[in-house]
């Protein structure tokens, strides 16, 4: 500060434009623009200036001037005048300008402490402490003593204008607690920061020419950073009222929550602490830490239950998230909606991935997508599809249409119209149904025991049942498959209901084990060993089995031989085995001949098998024939085992026995007739030899 006449303080603060021109005639002429303060206020009136060019920044000798400029008018602290030093011959490169000032016609001149460099080849700063339009050289940046800065030295705002209108305003903090936090406003002159705050910033944008902003739609569309340390980066009609909140751009956006952010878009609002909206239209992030990524529409108003609400997105629960979409809502804490249209997550920790009109209403429930699906049970899940409902605790519907999983831990696959109403139940296909608690008349306390409905029941249906294929009790495994059921293969045609193919673990045999409940014993049914499909020569076995030991009970060999592995075959009815014998079924009927002679040629024996095996060759004493002997008499009684050993099967033995008896009777009858004839003859002879009684 310089004292003039002991009472006036005058400061040269700013040179707006100053050009030094050194012409061919060695003249030095320039326009000198600057600002003066008198007593700490912008100077008004006339002032005298004394300008001198020196050969050095300090000391040296005068090479031009002193040039006296009298009564230079100063208005609002600014002045402009021309300085002409006349012909100069000593400027080879740089000269230094010294400045003195006084109130016009009053007292002595006061010199400014520093000289400014002046060069002959460029526009230069020629006023000590002033800035030129082409920049300064040799400055000492800072606000300390002897340093250089651009701005105000008191608590008044710094305003930069363009075309006479404010383009930038930097004002001291209104919060004494943050006195070093300057408020900055750029852009429209109507942009502003809140009263009594610090650190607020409007980066630009805004326009008072538009007046359709604000809650009433009639306010100027300027930007405002009202909250402490809040920021509006640009756009128009945007505002930040929450502390440290941010609106990056867009239109009609508002960040009112503490630390909240709106990145852009149109008519978006963050209310919750640290809430974020990425963009979109009309979106609302009200929960603490909530997020809306974008989407939404304020133009469309056909959403909601009454179809008359704006189709905007909302994240209302704490830490809830809506990634985007159209009228999507995350209503409770930690709910998430990925996108889609008219979806809602309302259970707390619930999730809807996308699709349309889906709802995750149960706590921790989820709907991945699809249309009009509902996961209302706790931890329930719907994978997608149409019109599906998972209402049971931890229930699941994989997809399809109009499926429902109502029991605890119940599930449906996909398909259509399947209902899993029992606890732990499963329904899949088309029209499969497991009865629920009401339909199965379950006990009132069934939910506590997890045995509601037809619990632990599996039903699969192909939809050809004419109606729903429904369970009739708990713990059932039901399949309705018109085309047949198969294991390890496919059915050969749609006539066969069940086909089982061998897995290879038991050779080429397919097995079914009918096991007892209490131990590992039961009946093993097996079939296999065919040489080819064309031969159709598979064998069939029924065995007693305990998981290790196997005992044959019955077999049908590849050649059709039927074997019962029992020492005592029993037919409880007491009748004989029968076979077709209607005369209408027969032709070329011939009588049996010589039956008695042939039967009497057979030799019955008792014997033991040389190598008993417990199956075809049991141990102990047996009665029978020798196959090779029988073969000579009745070859059609002889068969063979697969390993080549002969078997005896009395084919037509009953008829053979009848005819043999007939032959025996005829023979005996003839013999008796002969004996009778001889007896008669002998009797006659006797009668002739012996007189009659009483002679």
Tens digit of each residue's pLDDT (9 = 90 or more) over 166-187: 999 999 998 888 889 999 999 9
* Cα–Cα distance, 434 to 469 (Å, whole number): 9
Per-residue confidence (pLDDT) for residue 212, from 0 to 100: 83
* Cα–Cα distance, 336 to 338 (Å, whole number): 6
Q: Does residue 142 register a pLDDT over 90?
A: no
Buried b vs exposed e over 484-517: b needs ≥16 C-beta within 10 Å? Answer: eebeeeeeeeeeeeebeebeeeeeebbbeeeeee
Per-residue confidence (pLDDT) for residue 115, from 0 to 100: 79
Tens digit of each residue's pLDDT (9 = 90 or more) over 384-412: 999 999 999 999 999 999 999 999 999 99
664 contacts: CB under 8 Å, gap ≥ 6: 596
Tokens at residue 633, please? Answer: 């008499």
Tens digit of each residue's pLDDT (9 = 90 or more) over 147-161: 778 888 788 899 999
* Cα–Cα distance, 428 to 434 (Å, whole number): 10
Per-residue confidence (pLDDT) for residue 130, from 0 to 100: 60
Query: Quick one: CATH architecture of 358-482?
Result: 2 Solenoid (2.150)
Tokens at residue 235, please? Answer: 């756009």
The fraction of the chain above a pLDDT of 90, given in percent, is 46
* Cα–Cα distance, 411 to 155 (Å, whole number): 72
Name the pLDDT band for 20 (thresholds 50, 70, 90).
Answer: very low
Per-residue confidence (pLDDT) for residue 663, from 0 to 100: 87
The fraction of the chain above a pLDDT of 70, given in percent, is 89
Per-residue confidence (pLDDT) for residue 9, from 0 to 100: 39
Tens digit of each residue's pLDDT (9 = 90 or more) over 234-248: 999 999 999 999 999
Per-residue confidence (pLDDT) for residue 145, from 0 to 100: 66
* Cα–Cα distance, 181 to 244 (Å, whole number): 12
2-119 matches 358-482 in fold: no
* Cα–Cα distance, 31 to 40 (Å, whole number): 25
Q: Of 607 and 566, which is predicted with more confidence? A: 607
Per-residue confidence (pLDDT) for residue 18, from 0 to 100: 31
This model's pTM is above 0.75:
no
Residue from 119, 95, 2 nearest 49 by CA: 2
Per-residue confidence (pLDDT) for residue 693, from 0 to 100: 56
Vertex 674 angle, CA 670 and 680, to 5°: 140
Tens digit of each residue's pLDDT (9 = 90 or more) over 37-63: 777 777 788 989 898 888 888 888 888
Instruction: Say if residue 465 is preceded by a cis peptide, omega within 30 of 0.
Output: no
Residue from 182, 185, 179 nearest 234 by CA: 185
Pick the CATH number of 2-119 from 2.60.40.10, 3.40.50.280, 3.30.160.100, 3.40.50.970: 2.60.40.10
Name the pLDDT band for 573 (thresholds 50, 70, 90).
Answer: confident
What's the whole-number average pLDDT of the chain? 86
Q: Which of 75-79, 250-254, 497-501, 570-574 has the highest mean pLDDT?
A: 250-254
Q: Which of 110-114, 138-142, 242-246 has the highest mean pLDDT?
A: 242-246
Q: Is 621 helix (H, G, I), strand (E, B) or coil?
A: coil
Q: How many CB atoms lie within 10 A of CB 600?
A: 12
What are the contacts of 383-389 at 24+ separation with CB within 8 A? 384/355, 385/414, 388/412
Domain ranges of the chain: 2-119, 358-482, 497-564, 594-690
Average pLDDT of span 488-504: 88
Please tell me what DSSP assigns to residue 297: B
607 contacts: CB under 8 Å, gap ≥ 6: 621, 622, 623, 624
């Amino acid at each position: 500060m310089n004292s003039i006449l002991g009472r006036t303080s005058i400061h040269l603060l700013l040179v707006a434009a100053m050009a030094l021109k050194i012409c061919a005639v060695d003249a030095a002429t320039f326009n000198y623009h600057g600002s003066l303060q008198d007593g700490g206020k912008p100077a008004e009136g006339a002032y005298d200036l004394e300008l001198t060019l020196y050969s050095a920044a300090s000391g040296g000798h005068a090479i031009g001037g002193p040039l006296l400029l009298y009564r230079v008018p100063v208005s609002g602290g600014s002045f402009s005048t021309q300085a002409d030093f006349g012909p100069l011959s000593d400027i080879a490169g740089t000269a230094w300008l010294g400045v003195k000032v006084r109130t016009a016609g009053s007292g002595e001149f006061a010199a400014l402490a520093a000289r400014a460099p002046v060069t002959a080849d460029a526009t230069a700063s020629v006023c000590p402490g002033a800035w030129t339009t082409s920049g300064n050289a040799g400055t000492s940046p800072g606000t300390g003593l002897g340093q250089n800065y651009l701005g105000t030295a008191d608590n008044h705002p710094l305003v930069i204008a363009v075309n006479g209108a404010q383009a930038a305003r930097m004002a001291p903090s209104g919060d004494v607690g943050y006195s070093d936090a300057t408020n900055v406003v750029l852009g429209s002159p109507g942009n502003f920061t809140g009263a009594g705050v610090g650190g607020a910033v409007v980066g630009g944008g805004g326009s008072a020419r538009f007046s359709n902003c604000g809650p009433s739609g009639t306010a100027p569309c300027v930007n405002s950073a009202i909250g402490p340390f809040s920021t509006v980066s640009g756009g128009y009609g945007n505002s930040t009222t929450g502390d440290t909140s941010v609106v990056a751009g867009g239109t009609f956006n508002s960040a009112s929550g503490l630390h909240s952010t709106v990145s852009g878009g149109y008519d978006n609002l963050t209310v919750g602490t640290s809430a974020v909206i990425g963009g979109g239209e009309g979106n609302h992030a009200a929960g603490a830490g909530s997020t809306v990524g974008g989407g939404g529409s304020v133009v469309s108003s056909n959403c909601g239950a009454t179809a008359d609400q704006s189709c905007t997105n909302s994240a209302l629960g704490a830490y809830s998230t809506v990634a985007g979409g159209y009228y999507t809502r995350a209503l409770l804490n930690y709910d998430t909606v990925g996108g889609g249209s008219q979806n809602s997550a309302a259970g707390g920790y619930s999730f809807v991935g996308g699709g349309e009109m889906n709802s995750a209403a149960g706590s921790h429930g989820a709907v991945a997508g699809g249309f009009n699906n509902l996961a209302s049970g706790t931890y329930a899940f719907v994978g997608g599809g149409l019109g599906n409902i998972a209402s049971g605790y931890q229930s699941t519907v994989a997809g399809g249409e109009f499926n429902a999983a109502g029991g605890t831990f119940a599930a449906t696959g996909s398909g259509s119209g399947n209902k899993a109403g029992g606890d732990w139940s499963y329904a899949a296909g088309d029209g499969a149904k497991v009865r629920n608690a009401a339909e199965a008349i379950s006990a009132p306390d069934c939910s506590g025991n997890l045995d509601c409905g037809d619990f632990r029941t599996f039903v699969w249906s192909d939809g050809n049942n004419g109606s729903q294929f429904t369970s009739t009790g708990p713990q059932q495994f039901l399949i309705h498959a018109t085309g047949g059921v198969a294991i390890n293969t496919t059915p050969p045609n749609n006539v066969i209901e069940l086909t089982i193919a061998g897995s290879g673990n038991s050779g080429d045999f397919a097995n079914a084990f009918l096991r007892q409940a209490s131990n590992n014993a039961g009946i093993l049914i097996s079939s296999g060993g065919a040489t080819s499909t064309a031969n159709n020569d598979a064998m069939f076995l029924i065995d007693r089995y305990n998981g290790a030991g196997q005992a044959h009970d019955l077999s049908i060999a590849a050649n059709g031989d039927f074997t019962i592995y029992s020492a005592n075959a029993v037919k409880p009815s007491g009748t004989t085995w029968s076979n077709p014998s209607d005369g209408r079924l027969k032709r070329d009927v011939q009588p049996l001949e010589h039956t008695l002679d042939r039967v009497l040629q057979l030799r019955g024996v008792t014997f033991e098998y040389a190598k008993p095996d417990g199956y075809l060759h049991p141990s102990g004493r047996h009665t029978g024939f020798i196959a090779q002997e029988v073969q000579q008499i009745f070859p059609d009684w002889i068969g063979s085992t697969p390993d080549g050993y002969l078997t005896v099967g009395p084919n037509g033995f009953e008829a053979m026995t009848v005819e043999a008896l007939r032959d025996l009777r005829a023979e005996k009858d003839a013999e008796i007739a002969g004996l009778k004839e001889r007896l008669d003859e002998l009797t006659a002879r006797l009668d002739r030899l012996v007189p009659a009684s009483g002679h």
